[in-house]
Amino acid sequence: MILIDSNLVNQADPGSAALAKSMTLDDIPVLEFGEPLLSEFHRALRLQRPVQYEWQIESIDSTKTYSCNITPLDQSGVAKPRILCTLTDKTTEKRAQANLLHHALHDHLTGLPNRSHFLNRLEDEVARCKNEEGRSCAVLMLNVDRFQLINEALAILLAMHF
């Protein structure tokens, strides 16, 4: 949590100890990842209401997701604007959501998209074809003989691991 008073950080919780009291908004390390977050600070001050902003930072080996809640504080009796900012690491939550979505839309044995996923994609494509003139779509259905045997064999292999 960071308290910003007139473009200066004047208070930070122990978890934000790296943010010295005399830093400006531009000096806050998280702002080096882009202009949009700084714009959200200024938008919260302009609108005088809370603003939430979420963004991702991608590196070679991972993607981190952060959320920032920016709340303008009561400005009465103060010459300089003040805001309260709370930064939250949402990476674990976002990974869990992605994992749940994957399991909901894919077969747990084969990893292939399931019927629900197929129907969702089909609906999307049909809608896109209706909206775009001159665009058409087709469905190719394959009947794999004895696919049930493959599925059962995979189930047996999976069961042997547990």
Q: Which tokens hold the place of 143?
A: 């009947």
State the angle between helix axes of 91-105 and 115-131 in degrees (0 to 180), rounded to the nearest 10.
90
pLDDT in tens, the chain (162 residues): 454 545 544 445 554 544 444 445 555 544 444 567 778 888 888 888 999 988 888 888 888 888 889 888 877 777 777 788 888 889 999 999 999 999 999 988 778 899 899 999 999 999 999 898 888 888 888 777 777 777 777 777 766 666
For residue 32, the model assigns a pLDDT of 47
Q: Could you state, in order of their start, the residue ranges of all structural domains in the chain?
A: 2-96, 109-160
Quick count: other Cβ atoms within 10 Å of Cβ 95?
13
For residue 8, the model assigns a pLDDT of 47
Q: For residues 19 and 28, what is the distance between their CA atoms, to the nearest angstrom? A: 7
Q: Does domain 2-96 have CATH number 3.20.20.70?
A: no
Any bridge partners for residue 40, and if so which? none
Chain position carrying tokens 């394959």: 142
